[in-house]
Amino acid sequence: MTNTMMTGGATKKLLQLTLNGKPRTDAVADNMLLIDYLREEVGIIGTKQGCDGGECGACTVLIDDTPHLACITLAASCAGKRVETIEALADQGRLSRLQRAFHEKLGTQCGYCTPGFVMAAEGLLRKNPHPDETQIREELSGNICRCTGYVKIIESVQAAAEESAS
């Protein structure tokens, strides 16, 4: 839900959403991007910015379980929705199966792209717990990694899917 207000001449909306499982209400400018809301307003910095907009996937978050690019999504458009970032996945300091798989299968090197890959893969596994390699590659095709050859990333997602099947 949003309410419009004027603050110092700028139009802001009162944004209510569920962020990483907790309800929040913040006044955000109409044109504030979700990535700026997360990193600057909320202060969680796991979501990365890797390009000028919409090209690298580093900023991928889940909105109502579906991957979206936070760098081209307006924060105000998330009113009433569930937004999840990489910070949502670990449970009391314990990595999720997907995070563990990226670690164990060496799916991460410098790590800058990793939050985006993990969230894109998380979205895939929620709708399709047992994807084949083609489906994994298709789902992650919008994410770019400068360090790896992608093979280890694909293997990481496969390992997480196999673990959930066992």
List residues binding ligand FES (CB under 6 A).
Answer: 49-51, 54-59, 69, 71, 108-113, 145-148
Residue 1 Cβ, how far from ligand FES at the closest point, in Å?
26
Per the rule left: phi > 0, alpha: psi between -120 and 50, beta: everything else, 130 is beta
Q: Which residue has the tokens 């307006």?
A: 74
Q: Measuring CA to CA, which residue among 62, 149, 55, 44 is closest to residue 105?
A: 149
At residue 63, φ and ψ (nearest 5 deg) are: -120, 115
Residue 166 Cβ, how far from ligand FES at the closest point, in Å?
27
Residue 84 Cβ, how far from ligand FES at the closest point, in Å?
16
Q: How far apart (Å, rounded) are the C-alpha atoms in residues 87 and 131?
A: 24
Residue 90 Cβ, how far from ligand FES at the closest point, in Å?
19
Decide whether 13 or 48 has the Cβ nearer to ligand FES.
48
Decide whether 67 or 131 has the Cβ nearer to ligand FES.
67
CA 79 to chain CA mean position, Å? 17
Residue pair 42/25 in contact (Cβ under 8 Å)? The answer is: no
Decide whether 2 or 123 has the Cβ nearer to ligand FES.
123
Decide whether 14 or 45 has the Cβ nearer to ligand FES.
45
Decide whether 55 or 65 has the Cβ nearer to ligand FES.
55
Residue 35 Cβ, how far from ligand FES at the closest point, in Å?
7
* Amino acid at site 36: D
Q: Which residue has the tokens 């999840």?
A: 84
Instruction: Provide the 8-state DSSP code for 64.
Output: T
